[in-house]
Amino acid sequence: MSKLAEYRLKLNLTQEELSKKSGISVRTIQRVESGIKPKGFTLKTLARALEIKEKDLIQKDDVNLNKEYNFNIIKLINLSSLIAVFIPVVNFVLPLIIAIVKKQLNSITKQIITIQILWTVIMIFVYLFGSLIFIDESSRDIGIAVLLLLVISNVFIILRNGIELNKTNKLHIDLKFSII
């Protein structure tokens, strides 16, 4: 069953009632419910009429995700960042290599790698900025504490995403963009 049909039925609406409520033709609603992905104006209007987010109408069903993705490899890709959690560049290169070799460079693995790239950029920035500011001994301890806090936060992100992948086959931290 399509996402549109699911949400429409939850609200006890017929296709005709949804058509009147949204201003979208019944034929278009039938097409979307048959599997055609809504785009642009249609997507926005239907989401508004059903009072849901646009992305909820275009998400794939969990059944399709399980066929399309190998979640064991995705979990491995996520956890592979832990191996090099103290080495900022390697923590995204290793998952990227595994994703390419295992042919699992999909939207979920791209999100995992994007999170690690962002973390790497932040670590490098903090290190460079800290080396300019933290000149004396006491302030270096603060700089080391900040870097350690960033490493611990990255470990938390990796583990939290791993737990969520085990439970729902989705990431806990879901960025709205991808660098790769």
Which tens digit of pLDDT belongs to each residue from 25-35?
999 999 988 88
In sign, the C-alpha dihedral spanning 110, 111, 116, 122 is positive
* Separation CA 34–CA 55 (nearest Å): 18
17-31, 56-70, 91-105, 135-149: least confident range? 56-70
**What average pLDDT score do residues 73-77 get?**
94
Mean pLDDT calculated for residue range 86-98: 89
**Percent of the chain clearing pLDDT 70 (strictly above):** 92
Q: How far is CA 45 from the centre of its chain?
A: 24
Q: DSSP state, 72?
A: H
Up-side HSE of residue 57: CA atoms within 13 Å toward CB?
Answer: 25
Determine the Cα–Cα distance for residues 88 and 118; give it in Å rounded to an integer. Answer: 10
State the Cα–Cα distance between residues 102 and 122, nearest whole angstrom: 28
Q: Please give the mean pLDDT across all residues of the chain.
A: 86
Q: Mean per-residue pLDDT for 102-114? A: 91
> Which superfamily, per CATH, for 3-59?
lambda repressor-like DNA-binding domains (1.10.260.40)
Q: Which residue has the higher pLDDT, 87 or 143?
A: 87
Domains of the chain, by residue range, sit at 3-59, 65-168
Closest alpha carbon to 116 in 166, 79, 72: 79
Token match 């080396």: residue? 131
68 contact partners, CB below 8 Å, separation of at least 6: 60, 106
Q: Say how far apart CA 33 and CA 164 lie, in whole Å.
A: 29
Per-residue pLDDT at 68: 62
